[in-house]
Amino acid sequence: MDVGITPSTLSGTARAPSSKSYTHRAILAAGYSGGALVYDPLVSADTKATMRVVDAFGGDVTRESDHLVVDGFDGRPEVPGDVLDCGNSGTTMRLVTGAAALADGGTVLTGDSSLRSRPHGPLLRAIDELGGSARSTRKNGQAPLVVDGPISGGTVSMPGDVSSQFVTALLMAGAVTDEGIEVELETELKSAPYVDITLELLDEFGVEAGKRQEDGGDVYRVEGGQFYEPADGEYHVPGDFSSISYLLAAGAIAADESGEVRVRGAYPSAQGDSKIVGVLERMGADVDWNRDDGVATVERSALSGVEVDVGDTPDLLPTVAVLGAVAEGETRIVNCEHVRYKETDRVSAMAEELEKLGAATEETEETLTIRGGESELTGARLDGRGDHRVVMSLAVAALAADGPTTISGGEHVDVSFPDFFDVLYDLGATVNR
């Protein structure tokens, strides 16, 4: 689907969608339990993939008006009767690979062409070390994957700079093993706040897990023989700061001169992407975050370039790149090599698509530099690269371009923010689909 965006001014109040990261984990945690209610979930293409997997493992997920009713598989997933198709969801595949290692038999996991290009090698090797069997059918660490269990627990060592989701998968599965699982990291953990999200959610479901430092490295540990039991049998998903970042960026560059953009649902949590508020402040944006009320407010502001380290916040790269394109001076995004292994290579995607709009960019393996002072954005035809975050960030950039912009692949916002274009329209953007 092509989406047209015409330069617009925005004002009003929007509500952020619920967190995709928390929703994935909550659905699977409820699956590990005897049953639970998950309130305010993000229902999207990605999270539906996780729901299907819980069904395939012997649970059942039913959608009600504002919550999911999850009948769990009580810590012992059945061997699925068919191949598990994870679609485009890397989170689903990685978290579910850990669950599949608990089943007494073989599970086959696959996904779309993008997902089949993403790395899983360290997680597969970890399952082998724990006494299971896990392999890539193409012997390249990429899906399709074949996982045989059951594992009983133990200690594994793995690099931390490929994906934090490997640690999450093992911690979630380890709680219901006999021995528990300990994960020793050989390198610094990238995207560490996402494991903090996992620890926070496990605690909400009554599971004890934690981290310690040993010989200068991080070690994560979850005891075995635990049960997933949320208080009162229910869990409430917080708002999603990755999605909030697009709305705040849109307000900072396109709010009406006499108005502001207010975003509800911005409650504090372990989400690393809440750092977008600090990034905007450093760039000179007039932004206010009322943490108690969960409301963030931003006015149109004159922005200046800064350096931003996205080692722990890879999903912010597209948003920061767009802010850099409209800011004065140079914005340098560093520590971003791992952002190349998402739904697409987001570093190159943002550099190339912003250049089509007239931005001056430069990339190395680990950096992306945008020279806003040398950029003059003009509407163009852009390729959304089949990536929801690329599509949404480019739509924000289009608000500040001179002339209309067309972005291909608009339907991919369904992955994390299905109502994104409706929300933009309600704030005053001219959107044509």
What number is the average pLDDT over the span 253-277?
94
For the chain, the structural domain boundaries read 3-17+239-432, 20-220
Percent of the chain with pLDDT over 70: 100
Share of the chain above pLDDT 90, in %: 95
253-275: average pLDDT: 94
Please tell me which residue in 240, 273, 315, 387 is annotated as part of the active site: 315
74-86 tens-digit pLDDT: 999 999 999 999 9
Q: Specify the amino acid at residue 301.
A: S
Q: What is the CATH number of domain 20-220?
A: 3.65.10.10
- Model pLDDT, residue 221: 98
Pick the CATH number of 3-17+239-432 from 3.40.50.410, 3.65.10.10, 3.40.50.620, 3.40.50.12160: 3.65.10.10
pLDDT of residue 373: 86
Going 39 to 422 to 350 to 252, the CA torsion angle's sign is: negative
| Tens-digit pLDDT profile for residues 384-416 | 999 999 999 999 999 999 999 999 999 999 989
Distances (CA, A) of 232 to 4, 24, 227, 236, 278: 46, 20, 14, 11, 35
Q: How many CB atoms lie within 10 A of CB 231?
A: 9
Identify which of 76, 70, 74, 85 has the alpha carbon closest to the alpha carbon of residue 23.
70
Assess whether pLDDT exceeds 90 at residue 215: no
Predicted pLDDT at 216: 76
State the average pLDDT over residues 136-165: 96
Which pLDDT tens digit goes with each residue over 226-248?
999 999 999 999 999 999 999 99
Annotated binding site for phosphoenolpyruvate: 20, 90, 118, 165, 346, 389
For residue 238, give the 3-state DSSP assignment: coil
d(Cα 240, Cα 65) in Å, to the nearest integer?
Answer: 19
Query: Among 220, 222, 221, which residue's Cα sits nearest to residue 206?
Result: 222
Q: What is the mean pLDDT of the chain?
A: 96
The reply to whether 387 belongs to the active site is: no
The pLDDT value given to residue 397? 98
pLDDT in tens, 337-359: 999 989 899 999 999 999 999 99
Residue 198: band (very low, low, confident or very high) from pLDDT cuts 50, 70, 90: very high
The position carrying tokens 């697009």 is 246
Could you tell me which residues come within 8 angstroms of residue 38 by beta carbon, excluding any fewer than 6 positions away? Answer: 23, 26, 27, 30, 67, 68, 70, 234, 235, 237
> Binding site residues, as ranges?
20-21, 25, 90, 118, 163-165, 191, 315, 342, 346, 389
Q: What DSSP designation does 329 have? A: S
Confidence of residue 172 (pLDDT cuts 50, 70, 90): very high
For residue 334, pLDDT beyond 80: yes
pLDDT (tens digit, 9 = 90+) per residue, 2-48?
999 999 999 999 998 999 999 999 999 999 999 999 999 999 999 99
Binding residue ranges for 3-phosphoshikimate: 20-21, 25, 163-165, 191, 315, 342
Please compute, for residue 349, the number of CA atoms within 13 A of its CA located in the half-sphere on the CB side: 26
Asked if the domains 3-17+239-432 and 20-220 are classified in one and the same CATH topology, the answer is yes
Candidates 357, 335, 358; CA nearest to 347 is: 335
